[in-house]
């Protein structure tokens, strides 16, 4: 099969449980039968939300956020303080594969490429990996492996990987490099958000100290994130970008454990779908 021309792309940011907004939005797209994209690129929870969208499984990831993520098996502070995972991706992947597995056949029945972003722990560089049915679930876990919060580096082609958000949280530049000229970017932060350093950055840099290039990537991510936001607002000539952000009243944090807050965030995503589709159709 020859390579398809890429003109349009859908890029979805991660952000752990803040991704409840994008899964609500994508469920709204499914309800409307809206999918005009030639390329899909996702990071961390954003990639998992894209997978459910491409599988046509409306409501699947709502259940992940509002049910599975609230079980004590997933987020466990005492376990973390004893040296284990704060977020147990192994448990989450095992139970969701067993109980609500993605329809892999439907995802790959369509020819448009689905790319998952990871960070190579040895080089600190972003890895943009095309997916297929045989590796998607593992790549989604690797893309979500936030250093420190999840203490393992999943191996992909024999190389340790970490959360894609470390190296490229909003891979709109990669969509442009692949030829996309009309791009929808779904974020998990308010439109006026600018990343700043904080105590968590120091802790993560200490945690990854045995991976010096990954440590440098963690240190550089604030500037890289803000540069990407600037690119979204002022894209190159010939490129148009529709940016979809949660509303100012969006309250979901990375590890929110409040059902009402998460349900509200999902509903905010559903409510944003109509406007996002209208903006896209306006060109």
Catalytically annotated residues: 44, 163
Q: Which two tokens stand for residue 153?
A: 């580096």
Q: Which two tokens stand for residue 264?
A: 């509200």
For residue 244, give the nearest of 10, 8, 53 by alpha carbon: 10
- Classify the phi-psi angles of 37: left when phi > 0, otherwise alpha if psi is within -120 to 50, otherwise beta: beta
Contacts of 220 by beta carbon, 8 Å cutoff, 6+ apart: none
**How is residue 8 annotated by DSSP?**
E
CA distance 45 to 266: 14
Please, are residues 280 and 184 in contact by the beta-carbon 8 Å criterion?
yes
CA distance 107 to 114: 9
CA distance 15 to 201: 15
Contacts of 115 by beta carbon, 8 Å cutoff, 6+ apart: 39, 40, 41, 42, 128, 129, 130, 131, 171, 174
């Amino acid at each position: 099969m020859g390579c398809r021309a890429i003109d349009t792309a859908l890029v979805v940011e991660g952000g752990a449980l803040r991704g409840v907004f994008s899964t609500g939005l994508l469920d709204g797209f499914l309800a409307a039968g809206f999918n005009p994209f030639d390329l899909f690129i996702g990071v961390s929870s954003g990639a998992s939300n894209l997978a459910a969208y491409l599988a046509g499984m409306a409501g699947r990831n709502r259940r992940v956020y509002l049910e599975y993520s609230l079980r004590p098996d997933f987020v466990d502070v005492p376990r973390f303080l004893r040296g284990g995972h704060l977020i147990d991706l192994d448990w989450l992947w095992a139970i969701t594969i067993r109980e609500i597995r993605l329809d892999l056949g439907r995802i790959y029945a369509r020819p448009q490429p689905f790319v998952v972003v990871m960070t190579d722990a040895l080089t600190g560089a972003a890895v943009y990996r095309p997916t297929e049915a045989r590796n998607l679930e593992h790549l989604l876990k690797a893309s979500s492996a936030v250093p420190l919060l999840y203490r393992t580096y999943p191996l992909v082609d024999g190389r340790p990987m970490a959360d894609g958000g470390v190296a490229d949280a909003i891979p709109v530049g990669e969509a442009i490099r692949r030829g996309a000229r009309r791009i929808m970017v779904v974020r998990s932060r308010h439109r006026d958000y600018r990343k700043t350093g904080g105590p968590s950055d120091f802790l993560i840099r200490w945690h990854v100290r045995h991976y010096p290039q990954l440590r440098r990537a963690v240190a550089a991510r604030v500037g890289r994130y803000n540069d990407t936001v600037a690119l979204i607002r002022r894209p190159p000539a010939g490129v148009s970008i529709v940016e979809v952000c949660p509303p100012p009243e969006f309250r979901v944090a990375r590890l929110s454990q409040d059902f009402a807050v998460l349900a509200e965030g999902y509903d905010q995503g559903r409510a944003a779908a109509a406007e996002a589709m209208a903006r896209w159709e306006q060109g």
